[in-house]
Structure 1
Amino acid sequence: MKDLKQFNIPFVGLKEGSHVFSYTIENTFFEAFNFDEFTSSSIKVLLTFVKKSTLFELVFTAEGSVEVPCDVTNELYHQEIISELPLVVKFGPEYNDDNEEILILPHEAYEMNVAQFIYEMIILAVPNKRVHPKVLDGTMKSEALNKLRELEIKKVKTVETTDPRWDKLKNLITEKKT
């Protein structure tokens, strides 16, 4: 986490009101978290920090893209990232981040590092299933897709056949009604 000092916000010296911080996130940021699923990344993060007398209101917004492999074809593509994370920071006797919307810092804290919040916001903005846009619109040409189409299970028309013993039982039911 020593590489993430630029994400420290010394809030003690800030005046009450709104402050804006901007960050450019690239792969070196994710390397600090030992995260290597992105081939490349280019994300702009804007942090609006509103300091009030008893609390802080933070709104993180991220916009950009990360290069990831497609889960279907393994082809690399740029996944758009657009995300927003609101956070309220209050003060208490000890650090507590149990609630995802409220962070409690100890009374003696004088700065906070926002890198973890930026990291989580970006990671959660990437879909669980990553599918190349050309796969979705049907224009992708790749060996993997051709092989998947070749191995696709074809629907076989089945004629419904019933067991003749059950047919006899069904006749008993209809005979009783008449």
Structure 2
Amino acid sequence: MNPLRAYDIHIVGLDNKRHEYDFTSDTAFFAALEQELIKAGNVQTHLVLEKSETMIRLDFHIVGTVEQTCDRSLDEYDEPVDTRQTMLLKFGDHNEELSDEIELIERNTSTINVARYIFEFISLSLPMKRLHPRYRDEDDQDSDDQNGKLIYSSDTATSNDDADDQTDVDPRWAALRKLSDN
């Protein structure tokens, strides 16, 4: 049996009101998606589905951990996940993705599968730079140094540089500057 079938929601018989669902995603879920980004994890999803005549609103709250491989040391570690996302499914004549948050689905659609949305939202919540927690403090200190902290400044050095810049202008550039000023 396909483990992604557990993420099917039959919308044909649902009343136009609020419905709540809970899903648990583990290693079998990530393996069934046939992707390389996440191999293992344990994530709980609380889904609030609000159905109306014209659309379905899906509010996801996803909490848990996924296994990642550190870009620096190649050690595996658990990356925490805690994200809230919203998806709108509008009823229409055909299936089409209108934006990242809005999709058109056919009016006669009987079942929606939310596994793809859960995986996408987990993926979007992960940091681009995958660092083991033991390297994160070290990386933050390195980025402070690179952000241009001014350690020492001398007012006389900057004023001398400005004076030198004024006197060392190439006469050819001065002639061109006169042409552009006209």
Partner residue in 1 for 2:78: 78
TM alignment of 1:1-150, pairs within 5 A: 2-138=2-138
Q: Which amino acid aligns with 1:23?
A: F
Partner residue in 2 for 1:159: none
1:46-94 deviations in Å (ceiling 9; x for gaps): 1100111221111111100112121111222111111122011111110
Cα separation, 2, equivalents of 1:28 and 1:111: 22
The answer on whether the counterparts of 2:30 and 2:40 sit within 8 Å (CA) in structure 1 is no
Which secondary structure state, in structure 2, belongs to the residue aligned with residue 121 of structure 1?
helix
Cα separation, 1, equivalents of 2:92 and 2:100: 16
Cα separation, 2, equivalents of 1:17 and 1:59: 14
Which secondary structure state, in structure 1, belongs to the residue aligned with residue 33 of structure 2?
coil
Partner residue in 1 for 2:152: none
1:130 CA displacement? 0.8
TM-score normalized by structure 1? 0.72
Cα separation, 2, equivalents of 1:26 and 1:116: 14
Cα separation, 1, equivalents of 2:2 and 2:28: 12
Q: Which amino acid aligns with 2:95?
A: Y
Identical-pair percentage: 28
Cα separation, 2, equivalents of 1:14 and 1:39: 34
1:90-132 deviations in Å (ceiling 9; x for gaps): 1111001131111111121121111111111111111111111
The answer on whether the counterparts of 2:77 and 2:132 sit within 8 Å (CA) in structure 1 is yes
Cα separation, 2, equivalents of 1:75 and 1:60: 30
Which secondary structure state, in structure 2, belongs to the residue aligned with residue 12 of structure 1?
coil
Which secondary structure state, in structure 2, belongs to the residue aligned with residue 100 of structure 1?
coil
1:39 CA displacement? 4.8
Cα separation, 2, equivalents of 1:39 and 1:116: 15
TM-score normalized by structure 2? 0.71
Q: Which amino acid aligns with 1:110?
A: S
Q: Which amino acid aligns with 1:93?
A: D
Aligned length: 141
Listed as ranges, the gaps of 5+ residues in structure 2 are 139-163, 169-182
Q: Which amino acid aligns with 1:70?
A: C
